[in-house]
Amino acid sequence: MPITAQQLLQILPNAGRNAGVFVPVLNTAMNRHGIVSVARAAAFIAQVGHESGQLRWVREIWGPTAQQAGYEGRADLGNTVKGDGSKYRGRGLIQVTGRANYAACGDALGLDLINKPELLELPQHAAMSAAWFWATRGLNTLSDQGEFVKITRRINGGTNGLVDRQALYEKALKVLA
């Protein structure tokens, strides 16, 4: 079920002109990764909308904050080389983070993200990486089951921004129905 720029703007009003940029690449990515029902699309758009500041950011804003400084040397993220924390900061519409995730995403998308992590900032790769992350984490199944909080935990590691995510989800369900 393709979404239109008008629908995207109804759900993510702060996206502005970016809605038109992202609609075609989101539709391609969603179709490729089975995000094709109202339940799946609503959950995906809500999560992507929150993670990207309503399609305004495709690269994590870097302080570094205490949390971001903690990316450095994190083996679970594959950040084993000095500087990996900043180099492999969150990018794409779901903020792929860490050397290991960049490597896996790059393999899946046929991109050299280890040497060119900034490729995830291009709209087509930002959207496709988000849909890849979604599909590989079993989030279509959780969407079908209405498990929105579990989806948030898989994306965020916790429930940061849950109120905003849920508000976007409710709006998306109405707009896409």
Q: Using CA atoms, how far apart are residues 87 and 33, in angstroms rounded to an integer?
A: 27
Cite the active site residues. Answer: 51
Over the stretch 156-175, which tens digit does the pLDDT of each residue have?
Answer: 989 999 999 999 999 999 99
Over the stretch 47-105, which tens digit does the pLDDT of each residue have?
Answer: 999 999 999 999 999 999 998 999 999 999 999 999 999 999 999 999 999 999 999 99
User: Confidence band (pLDDT; 50, 70, 90) for 1?
Assistant: confident
- Class of 66-120 per CATH? alpha beta
Q: What is the dihedral of CA 97, 103, 107, 111, to 10 degrees?
A: 80
Three-state DSSP class for 9? helix
Domain assignments of the chain as residue spans, ordered by start: 5-58+123-176, 66-120
pTM of the model: 0.96
Q: Tokens for 116, please give them.
A: 């060119």
Q: Using CA atoms, how far apart are residues 114 and 11, in angstroms rounded to an integer?
A: 33
Give the mean model confidence (pLDDT) for residues 27-45: 98
